[in-house]
Amino acid sequence: MPQSRRRFLKTAAVAVAGATLFDVRELLAAGPYTRLDVGPLTASSPTLVSYGNAITAMKALPSTNPLSWAYQAAIHGTTLPGSYPAWNTCQHGTPYFWAWHRMYLYWFERIIRKMSGDASFALPYWNYESTSERFLPAPFRVSGSPLYTPNRGPGWNAGTSSLSASAVATSGFMPLLPYFNAQGNCESTPHATVHVSIGGWMGSVPTAAQDPIFYLHHANIDRWWNLWLQQGGGRSNPLSDAAWKTTKFLFFDENGAQKYMTGCDVLRCAQQLNYTYENEGAQVNQYCLKPLPWWVFDREYLIDWPPIKLPPGPDPGPVEIRPRELRSRLLTAAKDEKTEVALEIDGVVIDKQPNVYWEVYLGLPKGTAPSPESAHYIGNIALFGHGVRGEHQHGGFRPAQFSFRVDRAMENALQRDESGSLALTFVARGAEVKGQRVSAARNEANLTIGKTRLALRRLKRT
Ligand code: C2O
């Protein structure tokens, strides 16, 4: 039967050609998945096409379906009435910030894979630390695209607004050794600063996850968790913290089935979750059964500032204190490698989600323009979710806290000024417009700070 044999060969040849040509993404589908830097991607890159297709398909489902766009966003936070399993469960200002958002992205990504029909899909990350990626990625700015939303702050969709350098700085958390300190500072900057800078839906917890860029922002925050750990030096996940290891969070898989996860399930992205980030180093493999030594701070509080209020309107003047007889002690501590001088800010409460974040300066000389490149700059106060009173919140209201290393800034201030004045200056910042810092970023909320203290800290391993 020469006829049918020929037909068989022809069909087989087509199948093989198909497998080698356009099924390459199918062959990769078993993972490991690589999460790509969105910078070089265009609107026609398969990753973004699939992401857009999935969003369109998910938006067609009713909000009661766990695979719908509305339901997935509501797991993070929502203003929709009603209460469905896992809604409003995002973790902010808690020990679970990094872990919860890693779990959330993991299940979300699996759902995108299914809803796009692209079995090799992996979420891209927004690498805004790169100076070439400070604007919203272009494919997200195309009106009519599923990646677009009009609900963003001024200039973002026009491509005129961009993130300022202080909003994307990683220097506030990368050097820290204790997990919860590093996680907390990362949650503030770059996490909260990027939310607040973009504004619109991204600026507020109950709406943020409706913007498709949210998940790329969080992929980047998730990547920094790995990069922080990869620095070594005794950095570790909180393997000695029983609550962190056993607290369960609920999600949905791509079939709409409920899935629970704990911190122990998300320690090793490559091994447990089957993904890595483009350009990241070797994974650090940690195991819940092998707890590592733990870091704690020995603290000594030396100086309190008077209560600080930042009302709506222009930036208030500096809040000054004079350390007087403590001056030489502070200078010695600043020089001592083993002692950190830290500014610890507790009980930070704001009446509504702010439209700005604040750069904080210590010892800024009068008449000097504040610059985050200067030695006076110590970090940011950025609020997203926790600390915000008006925000629709689950798990109760919690004031926020911040802690900055100030050795260099303090030494600089005390050496310059013989009278030993330590002035704290808060400068409200938003997005940059046309590449320029906008001096007119005006605060519209009421911020109060309960306690501001200078502490000497020594790290101890337990
Ligand atoms: Cu749960 Cu960036 O937010």
Dump the DSSP string for 105-120.
Answer: HHHHHHHHHHHHT-TT
pTM: 0.92
Q: What is the pLDDT of residue 234?
A: 93
Q: Is 141 in the pocket of ligand 1 (CB under 6 A)?
A: no
- Cα 90 to averaged position of ligand 1 atoms, centre (Å): 7
Q: Is 386 in the pocket of ligand 1 (CB under 6 A)?
A: no
Give the residue whose CA is nearest to atom 3 of ligand 1: 205
The atom of ligand 1 lying closest to the CA of 209 is 3
Other beta carbons within 10 angstroms of residue 270's beta carbon come to 17
Q: Is 92 in the pocket of ligand 1 (CB under 6 A)?
A: yes
Contacts of 242 (CB under 8 A, 6+ apart): none
Q: Is 90 in the pocket of ligand 1 (CB under 6 A)?
A: yes
SS (H, E, C) 410-429: HHHHHHHCCCCCEEEEEEEE
The atom of ligand 1 lying closest to the CA of 195 is 2
Give the residue whose CA is nearest to atom 1 of ligand 1: 90
Q: What is the mean pLDDT of residues 317-336?
A: 91
Mean pLDDT of the chain: 91
- Cα 116 to averaged position of ligand 1 atoms, centre (Å): 24
Q: Which residues pair with 425 in a beta bridge?
A: 361
Q: Which residues pair with 349 in a beta bridge?
A: 448
Note the pLDDT tens digit of each residue in 117-139. 999 999 999 999 999 999 999 99
- Measured in whole angstroms, the distance separating CA 266 from the mean position of its chain's CA atoms is 17
Q: What is the pLDDT of residue 392?
A: 57
CB 195 within 8 A of CB 353: no
- Cα 448 to averaged position of ligand 1 atoms, centre (Å): 23
Note the pLDDT tens digit of each residue in 360-401. 999 999 889 999 999 999 999 999 988 998 775 666 788 999
- Measured in whole angstroms, the distance separating CA 17 from the mean position of its chain's CA atoms is 43
pLDDT band of 85, cuts 50, 70, 90? very high
Q: What is the pLDDT of residue 366?
A: 87
Q: Is 405 in the pocket of ligand 1 (CB under 6 A)?
A: no
Q: Which residues pair with 321 in a beta bridge?
A: 422
Strand order across the beta sheet in which 377-381 lies: 319-321, 422-429, 357-362, 377-381
- Cα 206 to averaged position of ligand 1 atoms, centre (Å): 10
Q: Residue 32, preceding bond cis, omega within 30 degrees?
A: yes
The atom of ligand 1 lying closest to the CA of 92 is 1
